């Protein structure tokens, strides 16, 4: 997780770089904060699940919390994918970059596994 100084630098630059490629995505401060807040809540849910295991909680109770964390991750993906389609994909299609459609289809296939 980023410390406060790193978050401020990233919000000032308003862009992040993927760890596996050189492509970048410029995000508004609002979009960035929303995504970080969602991830922070998910991180808290995961820590809670670990704590439940440490405390020998009943399996169905843990499973319920895992389902909630999965739903939160799916929601995160929906927001991220929506933003991606409305910005990156739409801009690339307007610019005639049809390879973006294949990239989107590959991404959707990964989500549906």
For 13-66, how does the pLDDT look when each residue is reduced to its tens digit (9 = 90+)? 444 444 556 778 889 999 999 999 999 999 999 999 999 999 999 999 999 999
Q: What count of Cα atoms within 13 Å lies in the side-chain half-sphere of residue 28?
A: 7
pLDDT of residue 20: 54
pTM value? 0.75
pLDDT at 94 over 70: yes
Element (H, E) at 92: helix 90-94
C-alpha 16/C-alpha 47 separation (Å) is 25
The proportion of the chain whose per-residue pLDDT surpasses 70, expressed as a percent, equals 81
- Report the topology of domain 29-111: Methane Monooxygenase Hydroxylase; Chain G, domain 1 (1.20.58)
Domains of the chain, residue spans: 29-111
pLDDT at 79 over 90: yes
Give 28-90 as a DSSP string: -HHHHHHHHHHHHHHHHHHHHHHHHHHTT--HHHHHHHHHHHHHHHHHHHHHHHHHHIIIIIH
Q: What count of Cα atoms within 13 Å lies in the side-chain half-sphere of residue 68?
A: 15
């Amino acid at each position: 997780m980023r410390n406060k100084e790193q978050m401020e630098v990233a919000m000032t630059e308003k862009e992040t770089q993927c760890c596996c490629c050189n492509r970048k995505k410029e995000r508004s401060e609002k979009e960035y904060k929303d995504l970080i807040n969602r991830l922070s809540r998910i991180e808290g849910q995961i820590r809670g699940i670990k704590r439940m295991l440490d405390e020998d909680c009943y399996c169905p109770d843990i499973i319920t919390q895992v389902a909630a964390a999965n739903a939160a991750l799916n929601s995160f993906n929906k927001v991220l994918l929506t933003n991606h389609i409305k910005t990156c994909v739409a801009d690339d299609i307007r610019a005639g970059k049809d390879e973006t459609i294949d990239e989107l289809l590959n991404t959707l296939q990964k989500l549906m596994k």
